[in-house]
């Protein structure tokens, strides 16, 4: 049974949501402040966190950043603002998905299951590890190593890298990445791809000016290739 942590200060949202998610087969813990939520996330290691952005003690985005610094747990953000800037900002801060208030338990549950499915996608599959130069992407263990050293990635960064590593040397368009990795239509959050690519670059120890594996093809997309050439 997936273990969820719901961080939400509003009792009129939290109580019915906890009940509805339990009815839908999740084990749910709840916290009403950012600090309690952070503590719970570290102590109890939930499978997924649902995070309200408007918390009394700390901005939810700030909490998301703190959480991301220490954990790769998938996070779905609940935001009251339905605008692209806000959504891009929370995705940039490391959220895996978002729901806009008011949302139904059914809607949130669908998002939760999709995020957990993505996280588990490699676990049961027989996909072999992909090797591109010194980079090894293992979809079963969802682990990445670079020159033998483990690279910590969020679930989304992993999916992005895996998608690219499966097509070494090919230019992959942002449109394809948005539909295949994010499963959202092009035009909604194009900047999201750039932001995640820049994080991925940082974690791989490179930057856009001096790329090793990730090469931006201006106006088209991105290509992953071995610094040594072929494959």
| CA–CA separation, 176 and 31 (whole Å) | 37
SS3 at position 31: strand
Residue 93 or 200: which CB sits closer to Ca ion? 93
Query: Per CB under 5 A, which region of 7-15, 104-112, 144-152, 205-213 contacts Ca ion?
Result: 7-15
| CA–CA separation, 131 and 64 (whole Å) | 32
Q: Considering the rule CB under 5 A, would residue 36 count as an interface residue with Ca ion?
A: no
Give the CB-nearest residue to Ca ion.
54
Q: Considering the rule CB under 5 A, would residue 13 count as an interface residue with Ca ion?
A: no
Backbone conformation region of residue 135, classed left if phi is above 0, alpha if psi is from -120 to 50, else beta:
beta
Residue 8 or 97: which CB sits closer to Ca ion? 8
Q: Which two tokens stand for residue 122?
A: 């490699």
Window 50-69: residues binding Ca ion (CB under 5 A): 52, 54
Residue 54 or 211: which CB sits closer to Ca ion? 54
Residue 9 or 92: which CB sits closer to Ca ion? 9
Residue 52 or 97: which CB sits closer to Ca ion? 52
| Least distance (Å) between residue 43 CB and Ca ion | 22
Query: Per CB under 5 A, which region of 9-17, 23-31, 40-48, 184-192 contacts Ca ion?
Result: 9-17
Q: Which long-range contacts (CB under 8 A, 24 or more apart) does 120-124 make?
A: 121/159, 122/162
Q: Considering the rule CB under 5 A, would residue 97 count as an interface residue with Ca ion?
A: no
Q: Considering the rule CB under 5 A, would residue 9 count as an interface residue with Ca ion?
A: yes
| CA–CA separation, 33 and 58 (whole Å) | 8
C-alpha distance from residue 53 to each of 10, 16, 172, 195 (Å)? 11, 18, 33, 20
- DSSP 8-state code for residue 89: H
Q: Considering the rule CB under 5 A, would residue 134 count as an interface residue with Ca ion?
A: no
Which residues bind to Ca ion, rule: CB under 5 A?
9-10, 52, 54
């Amino acid at each position: 049974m997936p273990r969820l942590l719901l961080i939400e200060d509003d009792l009129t949202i939290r109580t019915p949501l906890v009940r509805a998610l339990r009815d839908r087969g999740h084990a749910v813990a709840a916290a009403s402040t950012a600090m309690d939520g952070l503590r719970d996330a570290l102590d109890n290691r939930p499978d997924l966190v649902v995070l309200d952005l408007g918390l009394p003690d700390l901005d939810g985005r700030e909490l998301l950043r703190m959480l991301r610094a220490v954990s790769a747990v998938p996070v779905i953000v609940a935001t009251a603002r339905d605008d692209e800037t806000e959504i891009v900002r929370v995705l940039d801060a490391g959220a895996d998905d978002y729901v806009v208030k008011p949302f139904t338990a059914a809607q949130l549950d669908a998002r939760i299951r999709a995020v957990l499915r993505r996280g588990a996608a490699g676990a049961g599959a027989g996909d072999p590890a992909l090797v591109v130069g010194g980079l090894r992407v293992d979809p079963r263990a969802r682990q990445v190593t670079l020159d033998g050293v483990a690279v910590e990635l969020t679930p989304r960064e992993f999916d992005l890298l895996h998608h690219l590593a499966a097509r070494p040397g090919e230019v992959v368009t942002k449109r394809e990445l948005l539909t295949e990795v994010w499963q959202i239509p092009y035009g909604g959050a194009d900047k999201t791809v750039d932001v995640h690519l820049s994080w991925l670059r940082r974690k791989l120890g490179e930057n856009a000016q001096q790329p090793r594996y990730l090469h931006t093809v201006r106006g088209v997309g991105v290509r992953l290739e071995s610094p040594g050439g072929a494959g």
